[in-house]
Each structure stands twice: as structure tokens, then as C-alpha cells.
Structure 1
Amino acid sequence: MTARAAHRPVGTVTRGTTNPNRLRRMDRWIATAHGAELRRADDPVAVDLGYGAAPWTAVELLARLRTVAPRARVVGVEIEPARVAAAKPYERDGLVFRHGGFEIPLPRRPLLIRAANVLRQYDESEVAAVWERLCARLADGGLLVEGTCDEIGRRHVWVALGPEGPRTVTFATRLGSLERPSDLAERLPKALIHRNVPGEPVHAFLRDFDRAWAAAAPYASYGARQRWIRSVRDLAGDWPVTDGPGRWRQGEVTVAWRALAPAD
């Protein structure tokens, strides 16, 4: 094996689609859920894996993390060399760009890896191995956040994983754009999107969420936020919801992974 082959990045080139503020919902959740770990770390490094054809998501991640962890640093990692070259002019204190893939080419393990809209093009059968590889690169107390959103960030679903594996699934939306909670099904991450069929836990969850949403219709007169909060409160009676009203008000709900994990 040649030296070049031995150091070839792991993964395939994504479409590279990106827009400013596309990942704001995920970023804000990360800042809340993982901010304490980032503040405690001596060198809080975060990776924006597969940031795409423009560096906006990495730039924004740094800004949002620094609101809760002023010493946070972000490394944007892309498998396409031309995208890395195009991002270089945006480097600044705390922000650099590197050529690489799932091997995460950093000298030390990061405390956060965010992989948004990266696994969409992969087969479902490949997801577990990618998750395992990325989780193995995390520092102690680290977090991997992997998920999918629409082009302008109105609807987003992500899985949060620690070194031990998946922990939670978060559904997030701009409530004014939502007709029913199951509209979020089209943004399920690759591990779940093909499981939205009868007999699978995620299908049952979205079915129950739609029923709770319908039952909460009278609250719509107070606004979509109040209807969502009431729906999630009712849903929490049957599903292991792990967050509270403060996050629900943001148009979010987080559920334990074990409840939505594929049936087989």
C-alpha cells in the first residue's frame, strides 16, 4: 500500500449543499446539552464534519459554541480538497479547515463531532459502522451529533451519541411551518428513515405524536407553540421524553434512543 493510499480520507464526497443558518436548531441544542462539557475541557475542540461547498456552518458553529464556552475551537473537516481550499480564507482564531473524512484527522480527540446531512447518501447498513468509527474518535465525555435537515433548517431530526453509542433522538421544527408532527419523518436520519413503517418504533412514535397533536387542536387558538407543548406533554405519558418545557418551547422534543431504535 502506498503512503498516499494509507492516508486517503475515509468516506465519499457529499452533494455539498449548504445555506447560512441551516443548522441553527442543532447548534443551539448542542450549546445547551453539551455546553457544560465544553466549558470544563482544557481544550474544547469541535469538528464540523462534511461542512459542504461553503464554510458557513463551521463559522456559525464556532460563534454559537463560544456563547457558552468562550475557549471552544472548531475544525471544519471536508473530504473534497477543493472545498477545503475555498474555506481557508475564512480561517480565524479558533477556526481552521482540514482535508479528511470519518477518520477525523486531528492530533487529539475532539469533544464534539457534528455530522449534519452527511450520511443521507449512505446505505442504512453502513450507518452503524460509521457511528462506531466516529464515536471511537471522541474524547472522554464527548458527543457525536448526526442528523438531517431541510435546505433552510425549518425541520431537523438528529441522534446524539456518546462513546458508548446512541443516546437520544431530537425532533426540531419551526412550528409555524408544521401541519402535523409526522411531517418531520422526511428528515429522519438514515438509521431511521427507512424504518417509518408499521411495526417499527419510530412509526408508532410519530403516529402517537400526530394523535396528541390532533387532540391538542383547541390549544391552537393560543398559537402553535402552546399546541406543541401540550402535545409533547401528553406524549410524555407513553414515551421516554428526556427534556422539558424549556426545550419544547423551542419547537423541540428529545426522546431516548432505546424507544425508537430499529426493531431488528
Structure 2
Amino acid sequence: MTPRATTRPPARPRPGGTPPVVGTVTRGTTNPNRLRRMDRWIAVTHGAELRRAADPVAVDLGYGAAPWTAVELLARLRAVAPRARVVGVEIEPARVAAARPYERDGLAFRHGGFEVPVERRPHLIRAANVLRQYDEDEVAAVWARLCARLAPADPAAGSRGGLLVEGTCDEIGRRHVWVALGPEGPRTVTFATRLGSLERPSDLAERLPKALIHRNVPGEPVHAFLRDFDRAWAAAAPYAAYGARQRWIRAVRDLTADWPVTDRQTRWRQGEVTVRWEALAPRG
């Protein structure tokens, strides 16, 4: 990323000729179990890629003031890919020093930013709540930089390459929206929520990632999607007698008539729905 001088400090050089640290210190807000919905989705949708790799490396980029999310990511990935390793990367040196006592087999912490200072190209980069403080017009460059660091696709081996998962959630992980990107660029957008906390699907709009949050206005695809989702949710109100999960499933099933939903009922039951990026991408 090439930050604008008016809003971002220049990349900070490091001794020894290593690449400079790229990015800006975040607030560092974190909580245990905050990213559980994202982690579970990654384990299901990307687990086969991680198992296929000889040395699968995952990066928890911008893990925050405490290392809980990196510790949890390792446990969840190893449940589906026992060889997985996690590297927590933070731009604030004090946070790296505080995390070092938590290092163990398969878990390490390093100082860095969007340059992603790991030796091997990672098979996963998770960047949760990192771009929230950036400007919308900076997102594409950050995405491109991170995607260029991913493990490449290998069609002969049936591999689509590494995965970047970038998105936003609330403080205790009840509501998430994230974009999944491969080496080629954006693939999908996933909406995930604790259904008992939801009044209507458009409540998730406040957790749209930076690339979409300012596009929730009439005339933009993401606004139309959330409008249609609310209508489907209202039409599914009779299913509320069987619980919020059944209402969500019915609403998502109705959405599939007009929107390219990519997942199935097994994920809908978790309070998720995933849509192709092209359907929600900002106009222009």
C-alpha cells in the first residue's frame, strides 16, 4: 500500500535491510472468542486447502493488544488441519513483546504490517477489524498487496491457492461481515450473526467491511441486497414460531431466487449466508 501523506505515516524502515513495516497502529481492541464465527467458516471452507499443503501457514494480521485470537485460530485450524501453523503479526512492537510468552509449537508472533513478514507464502491471512480505520480508497491497494503474498494456486493439484479473509465484527463476535479473496482477488462476501440478537438482516450493515460500508446507499448493490434480505425476513415471519434459525433459513432460501448465494443450508443453520463478490461489488 502507498499511503497518502495527509493521512498515513510513511513506511517505517527496519534494520538489516529487511522490508519496512507497512500500515498504521490500530486501537488493538480484542476479546476472547470474538472471531469464532469467522474461524469456523474458515475451517469448513478452507480446511481442505490447509490439509493439502505440506506446511500450511496462517497469519493473524493485526491481532491487537492481546494474543487471544491467534491462540484460538491455531486451535480451530488444527482441528481440521493438524500441521497448520499460525503467525500473529502486529505493527505495535509492545504488543508483540506481550504476546511472546504465549508462543508454543505452531504459534509465533512477529512485528510487521501489510508486508506480512513470514518466510513462506501463507495459505491463510486473516485480517479482522484491521481496515476499519482506513479510507475506502485505500482498501484496494491493501487487498492487492496481501493477495500477492498468498500461496499461489496450483490447478494441477486442485488448489485454488491461499485465502485472505478481511472483515469486521462487533466487540463480542455476534455480528460479522467479511470478504474472502484468493490470489486472483475477491471471491465472496459472508454475513454471519447470532440469530437471537438479530431484529432484521440489515442490522448487519454496521459491520460491513470498509470496502462496502459507505456503499450502503440507494443505487448500490449491497444496499439492494440488504433491502431484499429484510423483505425476505419479513415474509418469513411465520417461521419465527419454529425459532429464529428456521426463519433465517427460509429468508435465505427466498434470496437465492435473485442473488448468487454460494453456500447451502448447513451454513445457513449457523446464521450465515455467503454471496458472490461480483453481486455486491461497489459500482464504479
The normalised TM-score by structure 2 is 0.89
The answer on whether the counterparts of 2:2 and 2:141 sit within 8 Å (CA) in structure 1 is no
In structure 1, C-alpha distance between the alignment counterparts of 2:120 and 2:84, rounded to whole Å? 14
In structure 2, C-alpha distance between the alignment counterparts of 1:186 and 1:117, rounded to whole Å? 12
In structure 1, C-alpha distance between the alignment counterparts of 2:84 and 2:188, rounded to whole Å? 24
Is the alpha carbon distance of 1:4 and 1:166 closer, same or farther for their aligned partners in structure 2, counting shifts above 3 Å? closer
Deviations 1:112-171 (A, max 9, x none): 000000000000000000000000000xx1000000000000000000000000000000
The alpha carbon displacement at 1:107 in A equals: 1.1
In structure 2, C-alpha distance between the alignment counterparts of 1:95 and 1:245, rounded to whole Å? 34
The answer on whether the counterparts of 2:126 and 2:166 sit within 8 Å (CA) in structure 1 is yes
Is the alpha carbon distance of 1:215 and 1:40 closer, same or farther for their aligned partners in structure 2, counting shifts above 3 Å? same
The runs of 4+ residues in structure 1 deviating greater than 6 Å are 1-5
In structure 1, C-alpha distance between the alignment counterparts of 2:278 and 2:226, rounded to whole Å? 15
Note the 1:100-249 alignment, pairs <5 A. 100-138=112-150, 141-249=161-269
Is the alpha carbon distance of 1:207 and 1:4 closer, same or farther for their aligned partners in structure 2, counting shifts above 3 Å? closer
1:50 aligned residue = 62
The answer on whether the counterparts of 2:28 and 2:63 sit within 8 Å (CA) in structure 1 is yes
In structure 1, C-alpha distance between the alignment counterparts of 2:2 and 2:255, rounded to whole Å? 55
Deviations 1:198-240 (A, max 9, x none): 0000000000000000000000000000000000000011000
In structure 2, C-alpha distance between the alignment counterparts of 1:144 and 1:4, rounded to whole Å? 24
What runs of 5+ residues in structure 2 fail to find an aligned partner? 6-21, 151-160
Deviations 1:30-88 (A, max 9, x none): 00010000001000000000000000000000000001000100000000000000000
Give secondary structure in 2 for the equivalent of 1:255. Answer: strand
Is the alpha carbon distance of 1:221 and 1:56 closer, same or farther for their aligned partners in structure 2, counting shifts above 3 Å? same
The alpha carbon displacement at 1:4 in A equals: 21
In structure 1, C-alpha distance between the alignment counterparts of 2:123 and 2:59, rounded to whole Å? 8
In structure 2, C-alpha distance between the alignment counterparts of 1:185 and 1:155, rounded to whole Å? 10
The alpha carbon displacement at 1:108 in A equals: 1.2
In structure 2, C-alpha distance between the alignment counterparts of 1:90 and 1:131, rounded to whole Å? 29
In structure 2, C-alpha distance between the alignment counterparts of 1:90 and 1:69, rounded to whole Å? 21
What runs of 5+ residues in structure 1 fail to find an aligned partner? none
In structure 2, C-alpha distance between the alignment counterparts of 1:107 and 1:53, rounded to whole Å? 24
Give secondary structure in 2 for the equivalent of 1:30. Answer: helix
The answer on whether the counterparts of 2:63 and 2:70 sit within 8 Å (CA) in structure 1 is yes
Q: How many residues align?
A: 258
The answer on whether the counterparts of 2:166 and 2:209 sit within 8 Å (CA) in structure 1 is yes
The alpha carbon displacement at 1:3 in A equals: 20
In structure 2, C-alpha distance between the alignment counterparts of 1:73 and 1:107, rounded to whole Å? 12
Is the alpha carbon distance of 1:29 and 1:3 closer, same or farther for their aligned partners in structure 2, counting shifts above 3 Å? closer
Provide the identity percentage: 91
Is the alpha carbon distance of 1:61 and 1:3 closer, same or farther for their aligned partners in structure 2, counting shifts above 3 Å? closer
Give secondary structure in 1 for the equivalent of 2:4. Answer: helix
In structure 1, C-alpha distance between the alignment counterparts of 2:265 and 2:280, rounded to whole Å? 21
In structure 1, C-alpha distance between the alignment counterparts of 2:27 and 2:270, rounded to whole Å? 29
In structure 1, C-alpha distance between the alignment counterparts of 2:120 and 2:201, rounded to whole Å? 40
Deviations 1:89-128 (A, max 9, x none): 0000000000000000011100000000000000000000
Is the alpha carbon distance of 1:4 and 1:190 closer, same or farther for their aligned partners in structure 2, counting shifts above 3 Å? closer
The alpha carbon displacement at 1:189 in A equals: 0.1
In structure 2, C-alpha distance between the alignment counterparts of 1:111 and 1:89, rounded to whole Å? 25
In structure 2, C-alpha distance between the alignment counterparts of 1:248 and 1:146, rounded to whole Å? 20
In structure 1, C-alpha distance between the alignment counterparts of 2:46 and 2:278, rounded to whole Å? 20
1:16 aligned residue = 28
Give secondary structure in 2 for the equivalent of 1:3. Answer: coil
